[in-house]
Amino acid sequence: MAAKVILHIGQQKSGTTYLQEMLGHITGPLAEEAGILYPASIREILPDAIENHEKATRGLLGTEYPWVSAADAAVERGKWTRLMAKVHAWQDTVLISAEALAAIRSPAVARLLAEFGGAAVEVVITTRGLDRSLPSLWQQHVRNGRQSGMEEFFAVLAEQRDRGRRAIEEEPDLHLWRAFGLGGLVRRWAAEVGPERVRVVVNPGSPPDLLWHRFAAAVGASACVGRLPAEIRTRRAHSGLTGDEIELLIALNRRLDGAGWSTFERRALREEILLRGLNGRGERGGPVAVPESARALVAAWAEEDLAGLRSSGVEIVGRPEELRPAPRPPDAAGPPTSFQVADAAAAAILAVAPRGRYAQAPPPKSWRTWIRTRVRSTEMLPAPSDPTRPPPDAGSTASPN
């Protein structure tokens, strides 16, 4: 059995994917120079994937994650068995990274820790200001098929948080605030492993490699920081979406609702539009910011979490003040104009248009007649019967809906 297990448990939208990519590039030096095993799980099947261990934890915790069915958990059970075999075979430190663990309740925390027997378990939590992480979470929901605007999203968040600490800790559907409520998250895990074994790493947002330096120090891998090329260390995992792109995707999700597309087809269409159409545009604008109507509320949530963090007795890597929302981010974009949305829509059309279909020479008739004929033969998406109904797509792992 490993002498020590380090659990990196998120939070979501705090730079976890970026860190997992960094770790995947230096698994050799981590093991050889720092004695830290970052075990393969996803990479056993997909060698180029960004390694994380969330699916393996589904095999143990199953429906403790509200978005995981019993059938899905059964499929992943073998991943947990194989991961634990590697933990038992390694004699030094094992690092496991699964951001969804931030959302589990105390009984599930105890169940997870029991799996590691006599190993000393430490917990590392990466966190970012709510004014950045919550808009990013909303974007992820839209990418997953949701149709709610940002103000509606924040109204749901407020209603959930108002239900109180006990409800958040006990009710399965309030997993979002179990994960994003930093004060409660720290208390929950410190109660199981002891505050001296919990470290909170603050993501300042910029420069990007400062998060990597802080995280490496927290897990005992500072000696390996320089083993990454500069272009890897300074890479950003996600560029985020702009306001016009979000408006486009919300409209698309509404049109897809009831149109007969499967969950897989919807997801594939959105990802093709994002990767081939929107991400490659030159001038995309600034990040989406917290709406004015929710700014004071987010600031109050941040202060409550800061107070809980400071009183917890855990180690903080970074400056807690970096978690306070700015009055308004200087690079935030304003409301999108109709021209900006139209430009994003044009990029989306070009991303998925079957260009070869139009490369052939038109038949010997007027262009206008030819185009009319082609349009009539194209199957158009029907209008949704109820545009307010949530989509059947699988949402984000921290959906508030």
* Whether 99 contacts 9, CB under 8 Å: yes
Give pLDDT, residue 7. 98
Q: Is the dihedral of CA 190, 196, 198, 199 positive or negative?
A: positive
Q: Give which of 390, 149, 181 is closest to 291, Cα–Cα.
A: 149
127, 254, 311, 316, 331 from 202: Cα distances, Å: 5, 37, 16, 7, 21
Q: Which residues, listed in sequence order, are joined to residue 352 by a DSSP beta bridge?
A: none
Name the average pLDDT for the chain: 88
Q: pLDDT tens for residues 22-50?
A: 999 999 999 999 999 999 988 888 888 88
- Fold annotation for 4-132+175-239+294-323: Rossmann fold (3.40.50)
Give pLDDT, residue 383. 47
Instruction: Name the DSSP class of 67.
Output: T
Residue 69 has pLDDT above 50, yes or no: yes
* Whether 10 contacts 99, CB under 8 Å: yes
Quickly state the pLDDT bin for 147 (edges 50, 70, 90).
very high
In whole angstroms, what is the distance from residue 100 CA to residue 107 CA? 15
- pTM for the structure as a whole: 0.85
Q: Which residues, listed in sequence order, are joined to residue 123 by a DSSP beta bridge?
A: 7, 198
For the packed helices 150-161 and 130-143, what is the interaxial angle rounded to 10 degrees?
120
Q: pLDDT tens for residues 239-256?
A: 678 888 999 999 999 999
Give pLDDT, residue 330. 55
* Whether 295 contacts 129, CB under 8 Å: no
Q: pLDDT tens for residues 252-306?
A: 999 999 899 999 999 999 999 988 888 878 777 667 889 999 999 999 999 999 9
In whole angstroms, what is the distance from residue 57 CA to residue 294 CA? 34
* Whether 15 contacts 203, CB under 8 Å: yes
What are the structural domain ranges in the chain? 4-132+175-239+294-323
Largest CA distance in the chain: 81
Main-chain dihedrals φ then ψ at residue 398, nearest 5 degrees: -135, 45
Rounding to the nearest 10 degrees, give the CA dihedral for residues 86, 88, 94, 96. 60
Strands 36-37 and 120-127: what pairing?
Answer: unpaired
* Whether 125 contacts 31, CB under 8 Å: no
In whole angstroms, what is the distance from residue 138 CA to residue 399 CA? 9
- Choice between 310 and 232, residue whose per-residue pLDDT is larger: 310
